């Protein structure tokens, strides 16, 4: 046969073979895995399994352990909707692995540390979004060598333990009950750590030490303050782009309470209780930020515009990069620098 004939004939052969042999290929037989449903999304060549109809985790476990799965390297698992599945037990998928797992809007309270062991090489995206998880097995993270996105938002998690993950890029834990943060996290590829709306109150010293490529940190409504202690917000990343700390109760920083080494970061302290732009604290920060496109936002803080901020008023480059107003509403840029020169 001419090579071009082979090319023409191939799609036809594949098509007729699949419709003749099994309609569910490459999924298991439909009835063998109920209440789970498997679909081959032909257009994108992905296999998706949805177990949202399950009412117990045993039903899911049985579908994977007793059904015959002709292929074990699948794309996406979904469990969605409040249907009483309350735990994800050990090795729930048997030998089957997934690249993406979405357990969303569920009543899941517990996930076993070996729940997704079969996915350790392939899992890239794990989401437990809107559930009742009280703890996450942080110690299991090192085995997921491809895990890039972990989303645990809207649960009841109370702590982030120390963990190692060479692959993690995004960690979202907003809207939990996190009150305890452990140091000793090693996440060299972590770009985004989003943890708004948690009763954290204190970020321990050296918390960011193992996050040398962090670009975005958000901890708004985290009850941080009133004083931020030495080493608490020590950002080591040269590529830091934004730090959002709005709506906390921060009124002061101890020496070394906040430090950056990136010239392009936006440090956003809007809506806190800061009364003074103390030179010993903020000058080292501004010295970095003024080298690039960085800024400090202190809008909506009760700042007393006196001599303690003369260093800002007398340096036009720094003054341009500090956004805010005095407690009486006058913008920093509207104040007369001459007064600070003459009277401070």
Ligand X SMILES: *[C@@H]1O[C@H](CO)[C@@H](O)[C@H](O)[C@H]1NC(C)=O
- Which residues are 100's β-sheet partners? 76, 125
Produce one character per residue of 197-230: b if its CB has 16 or more CB atoms within 10 Å, e if not: bbebebbebebbebbbebbbbbbbbbbbbeebee
State phi, psi for 78 to the nearest 5 degrees. -130, 140
* Interface positions, 304-323, toward ligand X (CB under 6 A): 305
Instruction: Rank residues 146 and 238 by Cβ distance to ligand X and give the closer one.
Output: 146
Give the binding-site size for ligand X (rule: CB under 6 A).
8
Q: Is 66 in the site for ligand X (CB under 6 A)?
A: no
Name which of 288, 186, 184 is nearest 238 in CA terms. 288
Burial of 336 (0-12, 13-18, 19+ CB in 10 A): exposed
Instruction: Rank residues 96 and 228 by Cβ distance to ligand X and give the closer one.
Output: 96
Name which of 172, 171, 177 is nearest 153 in CA terms. 172
* Interface positions, 122-161, toward ligand X (CB under 6 A): 122
Cβ–Cβ < 8 Å for 311, 337: no
Instruction: Rank residues 107 and 121 by Cβ distance to ligand X and give the closer one.
Output: 121
Q: Is 302 in the site for ligand X (CB under 6 A)?
A: no
In the complex, minimum distance from the CB of residue 72 to ligand X, in angstroms, rounded to a whole number: 8
In the complex, minimum distance from the CB of residue 330 to ligand X, in angstroms, rounded to a whole number: 4
> Residues 6 or more apart from 277 whose CB is under 8 A from it?
298, 303, 308, 309, 312, 322
Q: Is 90 in the site for ligand X (CB under 6 A)?
A: no
Q: Is 44 in the site for ligand X (CB under 6 A)?
A: no
Q: Is 341 in the site for ligand X (CB under 6 A)?
A: no
Q: Is 326 in the site for ligand X (CB under 6 A)?
A: yes
In the complex, minimum distance from the CB of residue 335 to ligand X, in angstroms, rounded to a whole number: 5
Distance from C-alpha of 315 to C-alpha of 253, rounded to nearest angstrom: 22
Instruction: Rank residues 245 and 305 by Cβ distance to ligand X and give the closer one.
Output: 305
Per CB under 6 A, the list member of 16, 39, 73, 280 interacting with ligand X is: 73
In the complex, minimum distance from the CB of residue 247 to ligand X, in angstroms, rounded to a whole number: 24
Instruction: Rank residues 39 and 330 by Cβ distance to ligand X and give the closer one.
Output: 330
Q: Which residues bind ligand X (CB under 6 A)?
A: 73, 121-122, 305, 326, 328, 330, 335
């Amino acid at each position: 046969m001419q090579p071009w004939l082979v090319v023409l004939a191939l799609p036809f052969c594949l098509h007729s073979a699949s419709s003749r042999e099994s309609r569910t290929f490459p999924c298991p037989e439909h009835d063998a895995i109920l209440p789970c449903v498997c679909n081959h999304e032909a257009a994108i060549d992905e296999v998706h399994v949805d177990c949202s109809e399950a009412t117990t985790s045993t039903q899911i476990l049985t579908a994977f352990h007793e059904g015959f799965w002709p292929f074990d390297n699948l794309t996406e698992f979904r469990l969605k909707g409040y249907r009483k599945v309350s735990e994800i037990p050990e090795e729930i998928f048997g030998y089957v692995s997934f690249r993406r797992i979405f357990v969303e809007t569920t009543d899941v309270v517990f996930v076993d540390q070996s729940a997704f062991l079969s996915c350790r090489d392939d899992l890239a995206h794990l989401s437990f979004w809107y559930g009742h998880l009280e703890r996450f097995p942080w110690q299991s993270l090192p085995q997921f060598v491809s895990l890039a996105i972990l989303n645990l938002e809207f649960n009841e998690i109370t702590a982030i333990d120390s963990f190692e993950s060479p692959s993690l890029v995004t960690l979202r834990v907003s809207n939990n009950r996190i009150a305890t943060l452990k140091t000793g996290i090693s996440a060299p590829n972590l770009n985004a750590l989003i943890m708004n709306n948690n009763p954290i109150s204190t970020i321990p010293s050296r918390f960011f030490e193992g996050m040398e490529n962090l670009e975005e940190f958000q901890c708004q409504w985290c009850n941080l303050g009133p004083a931020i202690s030495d080493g608490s917000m020590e950002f080591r990343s040269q590529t830091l782009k934004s730090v959002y700390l709005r709506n906390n109760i921060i009124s002061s920083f101890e020496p070394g309470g906040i430090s950056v080494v990136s010239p392009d970061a936006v440090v956003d302290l809007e809506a806190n209780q800061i009364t003074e732009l103390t030179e010993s604290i903020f000058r080292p920060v501004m010295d970095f930020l003024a080298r690039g496109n960085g800024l400090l936002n202190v809008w909506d803080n009760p700042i007393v515009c006196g001599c303690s901020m003369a260093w800002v008023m007398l340096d036009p480059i720094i003054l341009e990069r500090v956004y805010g107003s005095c407690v009486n509403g006058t913008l920093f840029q509207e104040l007369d620098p001459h007064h600070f020169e003459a009277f401070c």
